[in-house]
Amino acid sequence: MNRLRHSFKGYRRSMQMSENTLFVFVEGIADRYIYSRVANCECKGKSIEYQLVTSEELASDCGGKTVLLQFYDYLKQQHSLIDSFNDKITLSIFFLDKDIDDFLRIMRRSLHIVYTKYYELENYYFIHGDLSLAVAASASLDISTVQTGLGDYSQWRNKVTTAWKDWVKLCYFSHTRRIGSLCGYSHPESQINTSIYGSVDKNKFRRFLNGLQAKSGLNKKQFSKIFSRSCKKVDRIYSAGEYDRIFKGKWYTCFLKHDIKHIAGTRRYRSSNLEANLISNLAQSLNFNDSWAEYFRLPIRKLLVHIQQSNKIAP
């Protein structure tokens, strides 16, 4: 921790010496494009320079949300979230994946921290991106064929999330009860479905359930009661159409890759680097002037206005 604290001190110093006013901290390199577009929308034309910083740039031996929150705490302790050094103002804002932090009740409340509304940033790609355009560009298929194959985007997402609902229940319970990674969001796909859209293998489901009970330290009756309550919570979230709060965004690509093969049929399509290309093309299909982006743009705008009202940055 001492080495990290020293690096934090050094990075804070580099921020003070930088020509940039706004520092936007994100979890990883995959987040750069989206949040740079968000920052650019608010800073362009306002004579405010900004810099995107990933967690890895703060600590070379680790990264992610934990490091960002550690650095946030450090800046807060140093009264440097809004920093004034030699008449130069530095602003900091942190964009974090929500995961299920809201259900764990560990989300930070701060003008300088913005969590995604959904499980992670990738959920936005599939909710607000143009799936047909992204698939057509990524797989080299014609748009009309893809549109027909995918159908309504909302119905597609509902079908996808419903297919893995039992897996989500296991993951949600495991993480909210802090039982460990026996079954959890770290897995790239469901461990209990017989295939992507297949039914649940009851034997696998039971083995995972038994494993969770063993790790929980609860007897069978206690465990059954708590797990049942957790499942009902997931059911309510799904019934409200809010499954993206607990369904991992990256999981959508598993289904999309499967569906592309089905849509293409006997025709050749580009399958190399398909997952990465899908994410990239979905990100580029997002419209940052749409209402969804206001959720991310507004905190930056408020931060800049706060400084302007303090007469530290000219309007």
Q: How far apart are CA 296 and CA 298, in angstroms?
A: 6
How many alpha carbons fall within 13 Å on the CB side of residue 202? 0
Q: How far apart are CA 112 and CA 90, in angstroms?
A: 12
Q: How far apart are CA 295 and CA 300, in angstroms?
A: 10
258-313 pLDDT per residue, tens: 999 999 999 999 999 999 999 999 999 999 999 999 999 999 999 998 666 554 44
Q: Is the pTM of this model over 0.85?
A: yes
123-153 pLDDT per residue, tens: 999 999 999 999 999 999 999 999 999 999 9
Whether pLDDT at 48 is above 70:
yes
| pLDDT, position 46 | 85
Contact 297, 287 (CB under 8 A): no
Looking at domain 2-121+289-309, does it have CATH number 3.40.50?
A: yes
Domain map of the chain by residue range? 2-121+289-309, 130-284
Q: How far apart are CA 114 and CA 301, in angstroms?
A: 13
| pLDDT, position 308 | 67
Residue 288 Rama label (left phi>0; alpha psi -120 to 50; beta): alpha
Element (H, E) at 115: strand 113-115
In this prediction, what percent of the chain has a pLDDT beyond 90? 86
Task: Tell me the average pLDDT across 45-74.
Answer: 89
Residue 43 structure tokens: 């800073």
Q: How far apart are CA 197 and CA 255, in angstroms?
A: 8
Q: How far apart are CA 106 and CA 93, in angstroms?
A: 18
User: Virtual CA dihedral for 66, 70, 75, 78, nearest 10 degrees?
Assistant: 170
User: Virtual CA dihedral for 291, 292, 295, 297, nearest 10 degrees?
Assistant: -70
Q: In b/e form, how buried is each residue of 132-150, taking b as 16+ CB within 10 angstroms? A: bbbbbbbbebeeebbbebb
Contact 182, 211 (CB under 8 A): yes
67-106 pLDDT per residue, tens: 999 999 999 999 999 998 887 889 999 999 999 999 999 9
Q: How far apart are CA 151 and CA 158, in angstroms?
A: 12
- In DSSP terms, which residues pair with 289 in a beta bridge? none
| pLDDT, position 312 | 47
Whether pLDDT at 2 is above 60:
no
Vertex 115: Cα angle to 250 and 35 (nearest 5): 75
207-236 pLDDT per residue, tens: 999 999 999 999 999 999 999 999 999 999
In this prediction, what percent of the chain has a pLDDT beyond 70? 94
Per-residue CA distances from 128 to 57, 82, 87, 289 (Å): 29, 32, 41, 12
Residue type, 152: D
Residue 189 Rama label (left phi>0; alpha psi -120 to 50; beta): beta
Tokens 């309510």, residue located: 236
| Residue 129 CB contacts under 8 Å (≥ 6 apart), including other chains | 282, 283, 285, 286
Ranking 17-31, 46-60, 87-101 by mean pLDDT, the lowest is 46-60
Residue 185 structure tokens: 């969001």
Whether pLDDT at 1 is above 60:
no
